Structure 1
Amino acid sequence: MAEKVRIGKTELYVNPIGLGTNAVGGHNIYPNLNEETGKDVVRTALENGINFLDTAFIYGPERSEELIGEVIKERGRRDEVVIATKGAHKFVDGKIVFDNSPAFLKDSVEGSLKRLQTDYIDLFYIHFPDENTPKDEAVGALKELKDQGKIRAIGVSNFSIEQMKEGNKDGYIEVLQSEYNLFKREAESDLLPYSAENGISFIPYFPLAAGLLGGRYTKDTTFNDGRAKNPMFQGETFERNLEKVELVREIAEAKGAEVAHVVLAWYLTQNAIDVLIPGAKRPEQVQNNLKTLNVNLTDEEVVKISRIFQA
């Protein structure tokens, strides 16, 4: 069983490998999802010592939260699970807009509580910034909910450094979730240092860069989803990216590990990163993600991996 780590300055203690659940009921993200398989993914995580589940209103929409709520209800022991969810998406005339107004965020938390069948949420994020709400007001609304015991920790997601500074005027932000991986390292210039300085835990999403850092693709792999139009997966750039992944494979093979496990282990060596939330569509992927915890990187290997992706 993995030793639990504390998420930043929160009172939340988790396995460093969590579970991202956008493939649990996320019918608007992945076609042909089987909900029973999704519930099995969550059960497998909980049975194998993963106690941190990351979901959101927009996964489904709503369905991911509902399915997670069902699994936790059948299992009992709510206090053993740390649930993170997110809100900001609002449907207006069939279109999605972002709303960070205090009233909407409070309503979002109430909706999530019902779907998750719980009376508190461990970590609630503002999923995306809107254009109008002062960010300290939005975060202040979450502080009120925290004081009422409806949420235990305050998070924001997809905030720029300016929005972070505005939102954190009173020091209430505890977690930032943002895109970060070895191919997309912009966060190293501002968001990661800011998080480290302010005791904010940084949770990266897309840590495996849509599978590119998983070590399973070759230059002949073709894609028929969003990756087909992603420049990282095209032409010479794709081939160069694969060459970098092959250099990580050398390190992985020397350790008897997979590329993905070495990449995930690398993130856990970075300042401000306490926990990762790789996703899974099948129960066996959950168990595979946990192998990351068996990988120990030397300081030299950490530097070497960083250099591979700076070139």
Structure 2
Amino acid sequence: MNYTTIEKQGISISTIGFGTNAVGGHNLYENLNEEEGKELVRVALNNRVTLIDTADVYGPGRSEELVGEVLQSFPRNQYILATKGARTVNDQGQSTVNNEPAFLRSACEASLQRLGLDYIDIYYIHFPEPGASLELAVAELVKLKQEGKIKAIGISNVSLSQLKEANSTGDIDVVQLEYNMLNRDIESEILPYCNVHQIAVVAYGPLAFGILGGKYTKELKLDAGDWRNSVDLFKDGNFQANLSKVEKLKEIAKRKDTTVGNLAIAWLLAQKGVTAVIPGGKKTAQILENFKASEIKLTTEDLADIEEIV
């Protein structure tokens, strides 16, 4: 495993983390086993992964509780815990976004309680609220940071203009965004901005939510309750075209003696400005395989061949 630093705060993290939306995320996936989910967190930590990523909306709240149970068995300096707030889920499973300072404070304190921690290493505003002031939202996180409840301030799922507003006082340390071979929207503007302003970039969805894992076929049918039904990558037409790209990527993966999933993660880590990636997973073998991506070195030729495909 390789390690890097969230530059503005000097926080060391593994370049490959573990995303826990399938650990207690019963509102996102069907038929999740909580004991298996906790074991995935243990496996990650026991294999030198230090960045564990969750959110209060996974479950909702249950992921933080399960992750927190596992963390109690590990030294506090062995992991960096990231979580997110700014969304509520009602009894019908419908979510709303709230960036009001008072709400973010209460959400952060509730997360601390569920996690059983004295402080959160990275606290993200999960989604921007249309019409709300991101400056005021970030100002509240600055107060939480001054009180020692969080160490680094993050924001997720933002456009460039929203990121600029949030970072108007230079207080954003980390931004978490979807980024993978099949979705490269952040490359033209957001990545360059983050490079200039020393903002760490954590990429989620590195395997395009399973497509770049290399095991899906055109016959794949997602469960009715699977949140990926709303993702453009899985829409009819898009999904089939993406699978065709994956078949070509498998040839490069074979050349590198690796899997297409690990090739996808290694490609992300080779992109200027990407600090870390957070693949998820539901099976121990799957996440152990993902961690091997840190050992892959892509040449200029490899990157050119991948570019031609994607």
What is the TM-score with the length of structure 1 in the denominator? 0.93
Q: Indicate the residue corresponding to 1:76 in structure 2.
A: 74
Partner of 1:178: 177
The answer as to whether partners of 1:90 and 1:98 remain within 8 angstroms in 2 is yes
Cα distance, 1:133 vs structure 2: 2.4
2:215 aligns to what SS in structure 1?
coil
Deviates more, 1:84-93 or 1:161-170: 84-93
Equivalent residue for 1:35? 34
Quote the residue 2:125 is aligned against.
126
Residue type matched to 1:35 in 2? E
- Compared CA separation, residues 103 and 262, structure 1 to 2 (3 A): same
Structure-2 separation of matches of 1:53 and 1:229? 25
Amino acid at match of 2:74: G
Question: SS where residue 41 of structure 2 aligns?
Answer: helix
Contact 1:8 1:175 in 2 (8 A): no
Alignment of 1:143-292 (within 5 A): 143-225=142-224, 232-233=233-234, 236-292=237-293
TM-superposed CA distance for 1:160, in Å, is 1.2
Cα contact 2:174–2:202 (8 A) shared by 1: yes
For the pair 1:86 / 2:84, whether they are aligned, the reply is yes
TM-score by length of 2: 0.93
Distance 1:272-1:262 versus aligned 2 partners, 3 A rule: same
**Identical columns (%):** 45
| Alignment length (residue pairs) | 307
By how many angstroms is 1:103 displaced?
0.9
Provide the residue aligned with 1:102 in structure 2: 101
Q: Which moved more, 1:201-210 or 1:150-159?
A: 201-210
| Structure 1: 4+ residue segments shifted above 6 A | none
Structure 1 residue 112: Cα displacement: 0.7
- Residue 263 of structure 1 aligns to a residue whose secondary structure is helix
Between the aligned partners of 1:87 and 1:25, the Cα distance in structure 2 is 16
Give the 3 Å change call, closer, same or farther, for CA 213–117 of structure 1 in structure 2. same
Paired residues of 1:19 and 1:53 also in contact (CA < 8 A): yes
State the distance in 1 between where 2:5 and 2:177 align.
Answer: 19
What are the superposed Cα offsets for residues 267-301 of structure 1, whole Å, 9 maximum, x if unpaired? 00112211110001122222111111121100221
Shift of 1:91: 4.6
Letter in structure 2 aligned against 1:79: N
Going from structure 1 to structure 2, the CA distance change for 1:220 and 1:154 (only over 3 Å counts) comes to same
Unmatched runs of 5 consecutive residues or more in structure 1: none
Out of 243-252 and 26-35, give the one that drifted further.
243-252
Q: Which whole-Å CA distance do the structure 1 matches of 2:230 and 2:121 have between them?
A: 37
Whether 1:50 and 2:74 are equivalent positions in the alignment is no
Question: Per-residue displacement from partner, 1:82-128 (whole Å, max 9, x unpaired)?
Answer: 00000001356865321111111111111111111010000000001
Q: Is the CA contact 1:4–1:15 (under 8 Å) kept in the aligned structure 2? A: yes
Relative to structure 1, is the Cα distance of residues 40 and 265 closer, same or farther in structure 2, using a 3 angstrom cutoff? same
Decide whether aligned partners of structure 1 residues 183 and 149 sit closer, same or farther in structure 2, where only a CA change above 3 A counts: same
Conservation of the 8 A alpha-carbon contact between 1:159 and 1:178: yes
The 2-side partners of 1:305 and 1:153 are apart by 34
Mapped contact 1:98–1:130 kept (Cα < 8 A)? yes
Q: In structure 2, what residue type is equivalent to 1:265?
A: A
Structure 2 unaligned spans of 5+: none
The Cα of 1:10 is off from its aligned counterpart by: 2.6
SS of structure 1 residue aligned to 2:104? helix
Partner deviation per Cα, 1:128-160 (whole Å, 9 max, x = no partner): 111232111111111111111110100001111
